Every structure is written in structure tokens, then in C-alpha cells.
Amino acid sequence: MGTDSWNFRIRGGDMETWLLGQDDLERILQVIGRDTLMRRMIDRMGHELTELGRGAREDTPTRGGFARTGELTGVIELMPHRESGSSVTVKTIAYSPHNPRLFGLPTIVGTISRIDEATGRLMALADGVLLTAVRTGAASAVASRLLAAPESTRLGLIGAGAQAVTQAHALSQVFALDSVLVSDIDPAVAAGFADRVRFLDLRVEVATPARVLAESDIVCTATSVPVGGGPVVPDGPHLGHLHVNSLGADEVGKTELPVTLLRRAFVCVDHRGQAEREGESQQLRADEIGPTLGHLCAHPDEAAARRSGLTVFDSTGFAFEDHVALDVFLSAAEELGLGTKMAIEHHPENVLDPYSTRSLRVRA
């Protein structure tokens, strides 16, 4: 895998953790700009996925965690990725569809950390909310650039929440989009989408899921459909070259696409183990699932041969993407001199005595 553009190894006894908070992220957006940040993310994601597809060793186990039931349904998950000989990146992420309504918080909330493999010490800690939204959009852009018709101009969105914003943004960076058809079960959310993507200068129209499917070149599904509640789009007429990025199947039994559509499509996945368990591909037999996105990045001719037909990117989101995304954000922060160094871990004066301190000698 590629070497981090920033080198945050232990030097000179530095044991502090680099923290990137909300103020730092807002500064990155203000100075570097969301377009440049997104393009950097797409380029870096494409490059690293290509290396992965060429045989670079992947050590990204399937995520695990805890499911919540009842009114506060959702999941809290841990997503680890290891770069052998360097570091481990761990994202702690919560999917809570009730958050906007009950707590005024995003549906997806989380943090991401970088741990030194040699010592286990915490090197960096950053927000996972913006990072997840941007990297998920970037992954769809990488997949769509490979599989969608290059002349695609109309985007369809099923689900008009936060993820829909970065999906539209990312795809606008790699296609000459001119219009968006958007559908959401909440009419107010659908109606407000145009204001949230006004910076993209796209014509936005609210439509039924059937129309979104029938008239779009590229469709992204990003919903909070409950387990067993799918599909969110009916199978029906669509353009022959339709490409679909399905993002919302992040639990066992939760799906967004009809299995009949999947079985007609060429399906690629980000992480096979996750996709077979909790992605759209849980509806398919193993022999009905195509290659990984990394494989297609490394063998683009295989993807190009599929562009004239129906294609699906089963995007479950895996920790390798978060590792890459954290590199992008840390590089941007380093470029602007952002972040705070803080001694979070207790490193006693005497490593054999947890009660010893560097600033105060405690008497027995």
C-alpha cells in the first residue's frame, strides 16, 4: 500500500496524539474547499484501490459491533484496518436513523483513530462524520467512473439525506451532470435537497422511485430502510446502461434493491465478506457476485466492457476506505498547520509503576 503523505511516527520521545476536531475540519473546507477536497479523496481512493487490486496485502476484517432494537434501532460498529509494519486505523461508527428527529444529530456519528503498530500508542484521532460522508461519495465516484456510461448527465437519488449530498458532489466531479431526480419517503427532506446542493448548480426535481429508476443514467440508493423493509425502488424499466451505487445495506436483512434487478446486473463489491453478509449481495449466490472494486480499478478494461449494460456497485463501506480517507484529511491538516497535540494516554515516569508521574512524585 502507498506510504502516508504525512509521517507521524514516534520521534524524539513525542508521545502526544494529534487531534482533528470540528474547527479543524471547517477550516479545511474553507481554505482547501470542498471541490478540491473531494477530488483529492477520489484520486487517492482510486489509486489505493488500484494497488489493492494489483495484489497489495489487505488486512481489513469485516466490521463487528452491536445492534440496537426498539425505537432507538441502529448499530454501533468497530471497523479496523491494518497496514502491516506501520499502523492500525480503527473507526467507531454509529448508525442511528432516529438521531435527526430525536437529538438533532447526524444519522451517522463516529470517530476514527490511528494506532502505531509497533507500540500500540494512539497517534491520531479525528472526526468520522465528515470523513465517512466524503469517502463514501468518493468510492461511488471511483466505481461509477469505471462502470457508468461516460456521457452520463442525469443522477437519480433514492434517499435525500446527508449521504445524498456527498454522492451528488462526488459524481459531479467525474461526470458532466446537469440534473438530479430525487426521492425520499419524507417530502420535506426531498424538497430541501435542492437547497443543500445549490453549490453544484444542478437542476433538481423530486420524483417517484420508479421515475428515478427509469430516467437516470446513474442511481444512488442511500436510505434508512429498516431490516426487512426493502426494496426501496421497484424493479421496472430503466436505461440499458444504468449504473447503481447501493449504499444503505449495512445490516443483515437490510436491502435496498430488488433481487430481480440484481440478478440481471453485473455486481461488484467493495469488501466481499461484508457484502455477502450485509450488503445487497446477501440476496445472491456466491457465483452471482462479480469482482471487487479494487480488482476493477486494477483491470479497468473488464469494467469498460460492462458499461453498456446494467451494473451495480454494492457499497458496504470498509475500513480500508477509512484508512485512506484519514490520510487525506491528515495531509490537508498538516498542509494548513491544523490540529492539536495532546497527551491523552498516561505514560508514567516509571513504566513499571502506573502511579508514578512526570510532574509529581507521589509518596507511598
Ordered by start, the domain boundaries in the chain are 17-130+320-342, 133-318
Computed over every residue of the chain, the mean pLDDT equals: 92
pLDDT at 108: 86
**HSE, side-chain direction, 13 A CA sphere, residue 76:** 5
Binning pLDDT at 50, 70 and 90, where does residue 174 land? very high
Q: Which of 209, 217, 290, 318 is nearest to 256 (CA)?
A: 209
pLDDT at 349: 86
Binning pLDDT at 50, 70 and 90, where does residue 359 land? low
Residue 360 has pLDDT above 70, yes or no: no
Residue 307 has pLDDT above 90, yes or no: yes
State pLDDT tens for residues 200-231. 999 999 999 999 999 999 999 999 898 889 99
pLDDT at 364: 41
**What is the reported pTM?**
0.92
pLDDT at 14: 62
Topology at the third CATH level for domain 17-130+320-342: ornithine cyclodeaminase, domain 1 (3.30.1780)
Q: Which one-letter amino acid corresponds to residue 233?
A: V
Backbone angles phi, psi at 128, to 5 degrees: -110, 0
CA dist 113 and 87 (Å) reads 10
State pLDDT tens for residues 36-86. 999 999 999 999 999 999 987 778 988 888 888 888 888 899 999 999 889
State pLDDT tens for residues 227-285. 889 999 999 999 999 999 999 888 888 999 999 999 999 999 999 999 999 999 999 99
What is each CA distance from 359 to 18, 252, 355, 356, 363, in whole angstroms? 22, 51, 12, 9, 13
Note the CATH number of domain 133-318: 3.40.50.720
3-state secondary structure the chain: CCCCCCCCCCCCCCCCEEEECHHHHHHHHHHCCHHHHHHHHHHHHHHHHHHHHCCCCCCCCCCEEEEECHHHCEEEEEEEEEECCCEEEEEEEEECCCHHHHCCCCCEEEEEEEEECCCCCEEEEEECHHHHHHHHHHHHHHHHHHHCCCCCCEEEEECCCHHHHHHHHHHHCCCCCCEEEEECCCHHHHHHHHHHCHHHCCEEEECCHHHHHHHCCEEEECCCCCCCCCCCCCCCCCCCCCEEEECCCCCCCCCCCCHHHHHHCEEEECCHHHHHHHCHHHHCCHHHCCCEHHHHHHCHHHHHCCCCCCEEEECCCCHHHHHHHHHHHHHHHHHHCCCEEECCCCCCCCCCCCCCCCCCCCCC
